[in-house]
Amino acid sequence: MVDDKSAFSHNVGVVFPEDGLYQRRTVLDNLLISCRIYGLAKERAGTVIELIGLADQKNVLVSKLIGSL
């Protein structure tokens, strides 16, 4: 587990193709889908949400988030 968010952020990148996120799903739902695709534990989604600072917006639809970050 990484304790230093800046060290984590420095080593992790995410690139989504156009329409790569499900706009009508929540932030958490999108991460859970990725966990299923890559065979990761569901708990990993919660860890990632905390690390990227979106825990307070995990239940917000992605369509509502775009442009507000």
d(CA 29, CA 21): 10
Give the closest residue to 44 by CA, choosing from 57, 68, 28, 60: 28
Structure tokens, 17: 């193709």
Please tell me whether residue 34 adopts helix, strand or coil conformation: helix
d(CA 27, CA 21): 9
φ and ψ of 27, to 5 deg: -55, -45
Q: What is the pLDDT of residue 21?
A: 78
| pLDDT, tens only, 21-69 | 788 899 999 999 989 988 989 999 999 999 989 999 999 998 898 665 5
Q: Where are the domains of the chain?
A: 22-69
